[in-house]
Structure 1
C-alpha cells in the first residue's frame, strides 16, 4: 500500500492490519556520463512498484529517502553528499517514527553502496529498541545472480544501466560509453580517491546494458527479494512463538 497517497483514516486502517513497512533509500549522485543522477532512487522506486503489485496487502510502501552518503563520488558534479552521521541519524529517526506508529518490521531497501555502513548503524540501534529489520542491498545481496544476466556489473555498469533502461530509455544511454575497471581495492582511502576509483564516475561495462537485461533482472530479483521478506516474517513468527 502506498503511504504517500493515503489519508488519515486509510492509514489508521492500515495500522490495524499490517506491521511491516518498506522504506526505499537512494542517492542523488553522478552515474557516469550516461545514467540519470537519480539512478539510485529510480531503481528502488521500480522495485517498490513491482513489489506492491504482489505484496501490497502486507507491506506499507513508505515515501523514499532520496539523499544519502557518497564520499566516493563526491568529487563529481551532481553528487549531493550528506555526512554519514547526519544520514544515519535521519534514517533512524524516520524508522523510529514508524515504530511508534506500530510498525515492528522495517525493510530498508537501499539503492546506493555508500549508504551501507550507515544503515548498519541504523539497524543495530533499531534492534536495541525492539525493531526487526531487513536491509536489502540488491547490488550486493544478489550479486552472483545478477552476474548470470549482466556479467560485468558495477556503479552505473551493465546491471544498473540495464535496470534504468528498463524503466525509461530516456534515462540512460549506452552508445560509445565503454567500460571501466576499478584500478585499486576500495580499502584504499585518499583525498578525492573516488575520482581515481571510478573513472568518469562509473565502473563495469555499461555499453553492454540493454532493456531486455534490465527486465530480466527485475523479474529475477523481485522473486529473491520476496523470499527474503518472507524470512523476516518467519523470524517474527519464531519470536512470537505462534504461527499466524
Structure 2
C-alpha cells in the first residue's frame, strides 16, 4: 500500500506543468498560485527612467536592470516583475525624448507596486535600480516603510555603484553616467542600441565636485565620475566580460543578503500567497 501511494505521488509530480517562464508578466494566474510562495519567494523589480544617455538608448536605465534581473533570476530562484520604466529623472530632462515623473506621483505608484508584490506572496522584494540621483533616496524610503508595514524583506540596489570595483578591474578606470562602463553594459545586451558614429568628446563633462557648480539642464548627457576617466569607448570583448562580472556580483550580493535575513529569522512567517479574486 505504501509503495502504491509513493508511486501515485511520483506520477502526480511528473504530471505537474513545468514552469513556463520567470517573467511575472507572462505567468498564468494558476501557474502563479502554484509557484508563489510555495516554490518561489523572491521577486526582482527593475526600475529606471527614460533620459538622454550619450550614444546609447534613452531607455538605458531600463534596458540594463531588466537584462540584469533576467540573468540573475535563475541564480536566485526568483521571478522578474515588469519594469517600472519611468522615474524621477533630474537635470537631464531638458534633452529630447527625456521624461520626468513628479516625486509625488512616483512615490504613490511605487508604494502600491511594492505593497502589491508583498500582498501577492513574495517575502523578498529586490529592486534592481538603473537610475540614481534622488530616485534612489525615494526608493530607499518607500522600501523601508513597505517592508515594515507588510513584514517583507526589501532590498534596493544600484548596480553601477555596487560594481564600481568591477568597473575598475575590467576597464582600469572609473566610469560615468553613459560613460564607458554603462555604454559597455548596453553594448553587451544589444549592440543595436549603441551608436559609435554619434560619439564626440564634446558629449562628456566630469561631474562637478560638491559645492563647486551646478547647471540645469546639465551641459552634456555623459557625466564622468572622475576627470580623465570613463570616456566612452567601444570594446565588445570587454563589454561581454563586464556584463557577466556584474551579473555574478549582483547575484552574490542578493543571495548573501537573503541568507543573512534567513539566519536572523527575519519575517520568516509563511505568506498566504496570491490574493483571492475580489
Scaled to the shorter chain, the TM-score interval is: 0.7 to 0.9
For 2:216 and 2:84, how far apart are their aligned partners in 1? 26
The 8 Å contact of residues 47 and 128 in structure 2, kept in 1 or not, is answered as: yes
The 8 Å contact of residues 89 and 100 in structure 2, kept in 1 or not, is answered as: yes
Partner of 1:121: 141
Q: Deviations over 1:223-242 (max 9, x none)?
A: 11111111222133123289
Structure 1, unaligned runs of 5 or more: none
For 1:14 and 1:7, how far apart are their aligned partners in 2? 11
Partner of 2:16: none
For 1:146 and 1:101, how far apart are their aligned partners in 2? 36
For 1:54 and 1:240, how far apart are their aligned partners in 2? 22
Report whether the alignment pairs 1:182 with 2:215: no
- Distance verdict in 2 for CA 1:182–1:85, change over 3 Å: farther
Q: Deviations over 1:31-86 (max 9, x none)?
A: 12x1101111111121122113433xx21111110001111211212110111232
Following TM superposition, by how much is the alpha carbon of 1:88 offset from its aligned partner in structure 2, in angstroms? 2.4
For 1:233 and 1:184, how far apart are their aligned partners in 2? 37
Report whether the alignment pairs 1:37 with 2:58: yes
For 1:152 and 1:173, how far apart are their aligned partners in 2? 21
For 1:126 and 1:183, how far apart are their aligned partners in 2? 33
Partner of 1:10: 31
For 2:163 and 2:211, how far apart are their aligned partners in 1? 22
Q: Please give the TM-score of this superposition, normalised by the length of structure 2.
A: 0.78
Following TM superposition, by how much is the alpha carbon of 1:163 offset from its aligned partner in structure 2, in angstroms? 1.0
Partner of 1:193: 216
Q: Deviations over 1:98-155 (max 9, x none)?
A: 1111112110000111321111111221232122111110111121221221324111
- Give 1 or 2 for the bigger CA radius of gyration: 2
The 8 Å contact of residues 156 and 206 in structure 1, kept in 2 or not, is answered as: no
Report whether the alignment pairs 1:76 with 2:72: no
The 8 Å contact of residues 70 and 80 in structure 2, kept in 1 or not, is answered as: no
Partner of 1:20: 42
Q: Please give the TM-score of this superposition, normalised by the length of structure 1.
A: 0.88
Following TM superposition, by how much is the alpha carbon of 1:90 offset from its aligned partner in structure 2, in angstroms? 1.2
Report whether the alignment pairs 1:225 with 2:222: no
Select between 178-187 and 156-165 the one with higher mean Cα deviation: 178-187
The 8 Å contact of residues 35 and 156 in structure 1, kept in 2 or not, is answered as: yes
Following TM superposition, by how much is the alpha carbon of 1:183 offset from its aligned partner in structure 2, in angstroms? 5.1
Aligned residues: 235
Give the match's secondary structure for 1:24: strand
RMSD value, Cα: 2.1
Give the match's secondary structure for 2:45: strand
Partner of 2:12: none
